[in-house]
Structures are given as C-alpha cells and as structure tokens.
A and B are shown apart, each in its own frame.
Chain A
C-alpha cells in the first residue's frame, strides 16, 4: 500500500521567510503525488501535483515542490511566506484500486505565519 508521511505537524515562519513543508512517500510503483491546502472550515484545494512529467512542479500561490526519487520526497516550498498562507497543508498520493483509484493523505502540517 502506498502512504505519505509529513514531517512536523506544525511549522512556524515569519512573513517573507522561506516556507518548507516536508513529505516523504512510500510506493512500490511510480507515484502520483499531490499537495492540498485547507483553510479553516473549508474543503481541500489542490496546490500542485506530480505526474512524472517534470520533477519540479509549480503550483498556485507561488508554491512549488520537487520530486526526488532517491530520497522518496516531495517537499513543498515557497520562497517568501505571506500571512494568507497560514493554513493546513496535506501531502497525498494516489493509490490504484480495482477499476479506479483513491487518494491517501498525510496527517497534515499546519503552517503559521508571524508578522
């Protein structure tokens, strides 16, 4: 079974500082990986996804993630944090089911941004 592990349940950065949210995956086949963001009382919104086309993936709101097979990692970064980035971030992997698929989520990392 495929899985993802997010390192750090909480990350705090100052406004303007680098954001780094860590995710490692476990997969026996080439994975399809995603980062989602969840704002309070909202559903999940896709930030970006890796589907083997390019190892560096750019997403919305200035976020990007790099797929590193040798490290089984898919860390999310943003060069300069903004107050509006404060939210919960989930790394996820798609797992094939018979006839379909499902998305497996990590436990999430809550990002705090200090003024």
Chain B
C-alpha cells in the first residue's frame, strides 16, 4: 500500500477486555516495529519483527502483551485483560531495510482508551 495503515484508529475497551490492534505495513517492507506512546511522551519501543521473526520483544511491558506477524506482512498487537495504564497510542512502523540508517515509516496509530 501507499503507507502504513493501522486499524482501528480509536478503540475504547473496558478494563479486563482483550483487544487486538492491526498493522498493515508498506508492501515489501522487511522490518516492522510497534511503539507505545503515552500522552505527552515520546514513542517507547515495544517489539520488532524482521519478516515473520520477532527479533526483539524486550519492550513489551507485561505478559499480557504479545505481537505476531505470521506471514511476514500484517502484524497484530494483542493486549489481554486490559488495564487503565495500557491507555496510549500504539504506533506501528515499517522499514525496507535491516540497517540502522534507514528511517521507519509510521502509521497514524491506534488510540486505546481503557475505561
């Protein structure tokens, strides 16, 4: 596609509910990243995929969070038993290369509000 697409744009979940956030990266992009951006903060790294392999998940805040990219394209970030502190914008980004000099292209994010 023309850009990174995320859905839904907005999600309101009741505390304890499970949610799934979707990311469609730019076609052919090898690298995919998930970030969490709390209000007034910079994006915080959650996890990184290279094709279908999850190479780093050190930023996932708890075992309630997990992400997958089974076919090396679309990715889903799942949050189980949501808590109020999970409220944030979740950003997905993709990149065409494996090296550090290549910028990542970001989607518009999914704003999750847990009530």
Pick from A9, A36, A100, A107: contact of B50, CB under 8 Å: A100
Q: How far is the CB of B45 from chain A (nearest CB, A)?
A: 5
Query: CB-CB < 8 A to A46: which residues of B?
Result: 103, 105
Flag if A49 contacts B103 (CB, 8 Å): yes
Flag if B55 contacts A98 (CB, 8 Å): yes
| Chain A CB within 8 A of B31 CB | yes
Query: CB-CB < 8 A to A90: which residues of B?
Result: 42-43
| Chain A CB within 8 A of B25 CB | no
Binary interface profile of B, 91-115, with partner A (CB < 8 Å = 1, else 0)?
1010000111101111111000000
Flag if B98 contacts A101 (CB, 8 Å): yes
Count how many chain B residues have C-beta atoms less than 8 Å from C-beta atoms of the other chain. 28
Closest to B3 in A: A43
Closest to B106 in A: A43
| Chain A CB within 8 A of B4 CB | yes
Q: Which residues of chain B from 61 to 109 have a CB within 8 Å of any chain A CB?
A: 91, 93, 98-101, 103-109
Pick from B33, B101, B105: contact of A51, CB under 8 Å: B101
Flag if B103 contacts A101 (CB, 8 Å): no
Query: CB-CB < 8 A to A105: which residues of B?
Result: 35, 42-44
Closest to B42 in A: A105
Closest to B43 in A: A105
Count how many chain A residues have C-beta atoms less than 8 Å from C-beta atoms of the other chain. 28
Closest to B35 in A: A105
Query: CB-CB < 8 A to A44: which residues of B?
Result: 43, 91, 93, 106
Flag if B43 contacts A107 (CB, 8 Å): no
Flag if A100 contacts B108 (CB, 8 Å): no
Are A99 and B55 also in contact (CB < 8 A) when A90-B42, A108-B41 are? yes
Query: CB-CB < 8 A to A43: which residues of B?
Result: 4, 91, 93, 106-109
Closest to A43 in B: B106
Flag if B104 contacts A103 (CB, 8 Å): yes
| Beyond known contacts A49-B103, A94-B101: 9 more, CB 8 A cutoff | A9-B40, A41-B108, A43-B93, A44-B106, A46-B105, A96-B100, A99-B53, A100-B56, A103-B45
Residues in chain A within 8 A of chain B (CB atoms):
9, 32, 34, 36, 41-46, 49, 51, 90, 94-108
